[in-house]
């Protein structure tokens, strides 16, 4: 009784764009979080606690998760 066609996909194209954009944003956040370690275990590198790794990267990751949620919950326009 529904007039929608079943093309085999769960979401519409717009939803997949949001999902891919969110996944890329999460990946960028994890890349920003990486590094800062020391090759020598006896030497401490304070770069581990930089603004990029402590504040910016987790914010980017959470933003990416929010974009993915929008992609999942958004109902596309007909």
Q: pLDDT tens digits, the chain, 78 residues: what are they?
A: 455 566 777 889 999 999 999 999 999 999 999 987 778 888 888 888 899 999 999 999 999 999 999 999 998 776
End-to-end CA distance of the chain: 17
Closest CA to 31 of 8, 3, 4, 56: 56
> pLDDT at position 1, please?
47
């Amino acid at each position: 009784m529904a007039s929608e066609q079943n093309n085999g996909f769960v979401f519409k194209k717009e939803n997949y764009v949001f999902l891919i954009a969110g996944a890329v944003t999460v990946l960028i956040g994890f890349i920003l979080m990486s590094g800062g370690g020391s090759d020598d275990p006896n030497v401490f590198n304070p770069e581990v606690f930089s603004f990029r790794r402590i504040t910016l990267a987790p914010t980017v990751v959470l933003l990416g998760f929010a974009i993915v949620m929008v992609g999942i919950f958004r109902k596309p326009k007909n």
